[in-house]
A and B are shown apart, each in its own frame.
Chain A
Amino acid sequence: MPASLRILLVESDPERAERVREALAEAGERDVAVISGRRVLARDVAEARADIVLIDIAHPSRDVLEELTQATSPMERPVAMFVDQSDPAITRAAIEAGVSAYVVDGLRADRIRPILDAAVARFHLFQRVRSELAATKAALEERKLIDRAKGLVMKARGVTEEQAYALIRKTAMDQGKRVADVAQALVTAADLLR
């Protein structure tokens, strides 16, 4: 969990931007950058490297954010938005559905907090899914690697698959390494000698 959220506020009306900034400060969020103006470039939003982008649901340049879903995955950057009337239940459901729409009538601090919480929760949910996916992929890669190493040992020493694996595992234990690392060393060596 990051110590502090970096929030980007895209708001063309300076007065409204100031009100939102104050409401965010009341909610304990002080790392807030603002992009003003009606015409916004995707590059500017990307460069702000915000954890959350707050933008009015009807902002004339809102579609620009869709460009960012190409560059990075939409999962990496939760986008929260302001709508005129709010129902916290709908808001939460919408954010969880990945829709990204919310608040804010009067822009009160107590309204902003649950939105940020929901957006952050979604952010972390996706982060978790992503890291699980990465872990699964890595495990698959390792298994393939170990399979190849087993094959090499079986061929070179004329042993069964089980014996080959036992041999690799013993070597790993003796050297204080991971099985996958020993397998990697074997495969690399075999590729070099081929």
Chain B
Amino acid sequence: MTREIALGYVPLVDAAPLLLADALGFAEEQGLHLTLHRAANWSMLRDMLDQGQVMAAQMLSAMPVARALGLGSGRVALETPLILSQGGQVVGASAPLAEALARQGQPCDFTDAASTARAIAALHQPLRIPPLRIGVPFAHSMHALLVEDWLAGMPATFLTVAPPLMPEALAEGALDLFCVGEPWGSQAVVKAGARLLLPGAAIRHGLPEKVLACRAGWCEAEADLAGRLVRALSGAGDWLARPGNASTAAEVLTRPGRVDVAAELIERALTGRIVTDPVGTEHLVPGFQDFGPARAMRPMAVQAQWIASRLALRHGRGSDAESLAAAVFRGDLHDRFLSLTTA
């Protein structure tokens, strides 16, 4: 019997597993019919899940962890049985900061996080300029955590800027640095003369970027439905991770009413070919963004703890943060639904 399920997503490249599971039959294979609800922002998506309009949703990996620590709006406990994607972020500099870096002779090979951070610190300290203004899509996001990790204590102010508005914010001189998912970083290059400095994966590889989030307890209460969903999305992720499928995926993602970005830009993101400056320098980044294999998409307590420890530091939460967070990333559910033996 086919079962129905309502899912929420935000129109970004990494909504791919959900959109592909629907369009390419991975859901159908599991006897599942997906109803996809597009949300205009993360708060809206979170509310949809909290209110039960959708049963599961693509979500920033830090959001369910932040919830467990009592940070942010909403109080319904959340958990995740599946990582949807890793990486996919780019860190970039505003045109003025990029020029200053270039004058300093900082080579940009788009791989060396440590030397780029040192170059920024060297620029920053003698000038005694105010804290770096860093644009991120959401207060509790891997974007913010990665940049914080990378800058290692340099004074910084994080400002929430919706990804499509990042180029505008840069053009107006409101930001020095930014971290955002593709294709919005490339858009900032094209529209605001920004320069991309690093892929998120160069700061730390293998951290979860998006997860499948549902209300705590739902997976166990609706084990049949949740199992079908996790298998369908995992199947889509596996397919996406295989070379040669990027073009097809990009076409599917850019169907009307899904992700409103040119298919070419999405394909670049999926294949890790990133244009980093206004003159069109292209860098090929293997492992820029990962959607599979399934084994790598198992949520692990240690990942949630990493996120929690950093959130706790920033927001002054107690020492129980890590233990609270560990229960959010449910590797046990992943094992149960996919019947994979753990390594």
A58 touching B40, Cβ below 8 Å: yes
Please encode chain B, from 158 to 185, with 1 for each CB lying within 8 Å of some chain A CB and 0 for all others. Answer: 1111101100110000100000000000
- Measured CB to CB, the residues of A under 8 A from B are 38-39, 41-42, 57-67, 69-70, 74, 79, 90, 94, 97-101
Chain A minimum-CB-distance residue to B168: A39
Q: List 11 A-B contacts (CB under 8 A).
A: A39-B168, A42-B159, A62-B40, A62-B44, A66-B42, A66-B43, A66-B139, A66-B160, A74-B73, A97-B75, A99-B73
> Closest Cβ of chain A: how far from B237's Cβ, in Å?
25
Specify which chain A residues have a CB less than 8 angstroms from the CB of B159 in the assembled complex: 41-42, 67
| Most central of A67, A98, A99, A101 by chain B CB within 10 Å | A99
A94 and B43 CA atoms in complex are apart in Å by 14
Does the CB pair B165–A65 fall under 8 Å?
no
User: Which residues does chain B contribute within 8 Å of A67, judged by CB atoms?
Assistant: 139, 158-160
Contact of B165 among A61, A79, A94, A98 (CB under 8 A): A61
| B contacts with A, residue count (CB < 8 A) | 30
If A42-B159, A66-B139, A66-B140 touch, whether A58 touches B41 (CB-CB below 8 Å) is: yes
**B47 an interface residue at 8 Å Cβ cutoff?**
yes
Q: Is the CB of B169 within 8 A of A60?
A: no
B17 at the interface (CB under 8 A from A): no
Residue in contact with B73 in the complex, picked from A39, A58, A66, A90, CB distance below 8 Å: A66
Specify which chain A residues have a CB less than 8 angstroms from the CB of B43 in the assembled complex: 62-63, 65-66
If the complex has contacts A58-B41, A94-B51, are A64 and B160 also in contact, measured as CB distance less than 8 A? Answer: yes
Q: Is the CB of A39 within 8 A of B165?
A: yes
Which of chain A's residues have a CB closer than 8 A to the CB of B44? 57-58, 62
